[in-house]
Structure formats: C-alpha cells, structure tokens
C-alpha cells in the first residue's frame, strides 16, 4: 500500500499528535538534568519543578512594592493593546477592502498603494512611531495596526472580488443600490473571511506587540520578558512564553467557534 493511502486509526492519530510535545518536553528535561548535574546553580535550563513553582508564584503572589500581581497586570495591559490594535485593523481593512473590492474608483486608487504599504517592514518604522506618538500606548497600537492592516486589506479585497459577478448583477436586477449590495451581499459573505484573516494575523500582531513592549514600556508581557532577561531568569521567561502561547491558542479557538456559530451557511457548502 502506498504511503499516501495509509491513514492512522484514531488512537494512533492522537498518539502521533502528542508525540512532538512529549519529545520536546523529554529533550528539555534531559538537557536540564545534564546541566543541573554539572552545576546545581545553573540558570539556563531550570527543572520543570522550578518552572512550576515560579509559575504558581507569578500567578498568585503580589509584588512587594506595588501590591499588584505583576503577571495579571502585564496580561491585561498587553491584551488591551492587542485587542485595540487588531480591532482597529479589522475595521480599517474591512472598510478599505470592501471599497477596493466593490468600487472601481477605489480599486484604481488604492490597490497599488496598499500593495506597496504591505512591503514596508513595520518594525523598521518603530523608531518613527516612538518619535511621533511618544512612548505611550498609542505607538504600540499603531505598530500593530500598521503591521497587519495592509495584509488583511489585501486579503479581504480579494475575497470581495471573489464573489461571483453573477450575484452582484442579480442584486442589481433586484433594484439594490451600491450601498445595499455592500451591506446585504458583500458584507455578510466577507465577515467570515474577516475572522479568518484576524486569526491569521494574530501571530504577527503578537510579534509586533512584544517587539514594541520590549523596546519601550513599563508594563506588559513583552516588557517583562525582556526585563527579566537581564537577570537570566529563564524560569520566568518560560512561564511567560507558555502563558502567551496559551492566550494566543484560546483567542484563536474562540474566534473559530464564533465563526462556526455566526455563519452556519458557510458549513453548508461553498
């Protein structure tokens, strides 16, 4: 039987899915034990127990100076920036993308501009953003917006263009104005694409957020990671990395569920 036709059974499939995770944990534990055996004070690869203790401490113990739990503070600050940035990007790209997809004038005027804009490396603009918008919240949100909006706009405008021309003509023969076509034909069909575009760009959004926080911030997940890096506190860094991964995973899962619930016609075919 050909390899391409061999399908694993369900238990084997689950096992295969868990394999990479188990392998990386085993590799980490082995490396950690070797280093700790040579030098019990080694900080590079702390033992899993150390990480667990650190995590428990980070999630529950308050900071002696401020009386706040820093990890939650960091989480709220970062998520606020992330949601603001992604939300603004979603709105911007939805309106610009719909305009490009539906209106020939907007298409001629904006397509080239958006294409060039998406080539600009956003991180290279970070110093400019700090100079223009200061070191506060605005520059971090703007970096996310600049980073993911061009890509999402291109994706969404293409989705609008993918709507069969027959549907647009049909709507016109039913008397629909441009506005009604945008509102009742294009928008409902593009919204599920918007959610998948958001899901795809969340990775980049996190990247830009952590980069911005690493350079200049006084609270935030990225800020904390780059702060404790100076003390080689690998246990804290690893806890934060796992926490960020978990947050990203949950956000992605929630968006996926929303998409499935809100757009039942997508699952029905097409």
Contact yes or no for 99/110 (Cβ under 8 A): yes
Joined tokens for residue 84 = 């603001």
- Min dist CB 178 to other proteins, Å, is 10
Backbone angle region of 153, left / alpha / beta, with phi > 0 → left and psi within -120 to 50 → alpha? alpha
Q: How far is the CB of 162 from other proteins (least distance, A)?
A: 11
* Distance in angstroms (rounded) separating the CA atoms of residues 82 and 255: 15
Instruction: Check binding of 189 to other proteins (CB under 8 A).
Output: yes
Show the tokens assigned to 235: 């246990």
Q: Is 265 in the site for other proteins (CB under 8 A)?
A: yes
Taking CB under 8 A as the binding criterion, the range among 80-88, 90-98, 184-192, 230-238 that sits at the site for other proteins is 184-192
CA nearest neighbour of 202 among 249, 161, 265 = 249
Residue 57 interacting with other proteins (CB under 8 A): no
Which of these, 123, 124, 122, 143, lies nearest to 133 by C-alpha position? Answer: 143
Query: Does 166 engage in binding with other proteins (CB under 8 A)?
Result: yes
Number of residues near other proteins (by CB under 8 A): 25
- Helix extents (H) in the chain: 10-38, 48-60, 70-102, 104-117, 122-133, 137-162, 165-173, 178-180, 187-215, 221-228, 234-262, 264-267
Q: In the set 52, 108, 184, 256, which binds other proteins (CB under 8 A)? A: 184
**Closest distance to other proteins from the beta carbon of 181 (Å):** 8
Candidate list 11, 179, 230, 261; residue touching other proteins; CB under 8 A: 179
Site membership for other proteins, residue 196 (CB under 8 A): no
Q: Residue 47 phi/psi, 5° resolution? A: -70, 155
Q: Does 170 bind other proteins (CB under 8 A)?
A: yes
When binding is defined by CB under 8 A, the residue of 172, 200, 204, 214 that contacts other proteins is: 172
Specify the residue, 2 or 261, whose C-beta has the smaller distance to other proteins.
261
For the window 224-263, what string marks contact with other proteins as x by the rule CB under 8 A? ---------------------------------------x
Residue 243 vs 263, nearer CB to other proteins: 263
From the CB of residue 28, how many other CB atoms can be counted at a distance below 10 Å?
Answer: 16
- Please say whether the beta carbons of 269 and 88 come within 8 A: no
**The one among 127, 134, 188, 203 contacting other proteins by CB under 8 A:** 188
d(CA 212, CA 135): 9
What is the C-alpha separation between 189 and 164, in angstroms, rounded? 11
Interface residues with other proteins (CB under 8 A) are 164, 166-167, 169-177, 179-180, 183-185, 188-189, 263-265, 268-270
């Amino acid at each position: 039987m050909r390899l391409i036709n061999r399908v694993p059974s369900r238990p084997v499939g689950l096992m295969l899915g868990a394999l990479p995770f188990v392998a990386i944990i085993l590799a980490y534990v082995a490396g950690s034990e070797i280093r700790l055996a040579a030098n019990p004070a080694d900080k590079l690869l702390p033992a899993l127990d150390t990480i667990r203790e650190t995590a428990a401490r980070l999630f529950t113990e308050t900071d002696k100076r401020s009386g706040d739990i820093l990890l939650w503070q960091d989480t709220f600050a970062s998520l606020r920036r992330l949601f603001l940035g992604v939300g603004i990007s979603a709105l911007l790209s939805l309106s610009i993308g719909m305009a490009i997809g539906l209106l020939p004038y907007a298409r001629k005027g904006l397509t080239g501009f958006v294409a060039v804009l998406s080539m600009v490396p956003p991180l290279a603009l970070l110093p400019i953003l700090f100079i223009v918008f200061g070191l506060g919240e605005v520059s971090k949100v703007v970096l996310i917006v600049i980073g993911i909006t061009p890509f999402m706009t291109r994706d969404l405008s293409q989705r609008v263009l993918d709507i069969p021309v027959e549907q647009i003509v049909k709507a016109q023969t039913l008397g629909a104005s441009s506005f009604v076509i945008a509102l009742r034909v294009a928008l409902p069909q593009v919204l599920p694409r918007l959610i998948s575009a958001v899901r795809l760009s969340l990775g980049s959004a996190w990247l830009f957020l952590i980069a911005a926080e690493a350079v200049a911030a006084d609270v935030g997940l990225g800020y904390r990671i780059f702060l404790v890096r100076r003390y080689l506190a690998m246990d804290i860094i690893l806890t934060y990395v796992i926490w960020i991964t978990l947050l990203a995973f949950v956000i992605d899962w929630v968006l996926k569920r929303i998409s499935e619930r809100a757009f039942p016609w997508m699952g029905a075919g097409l």
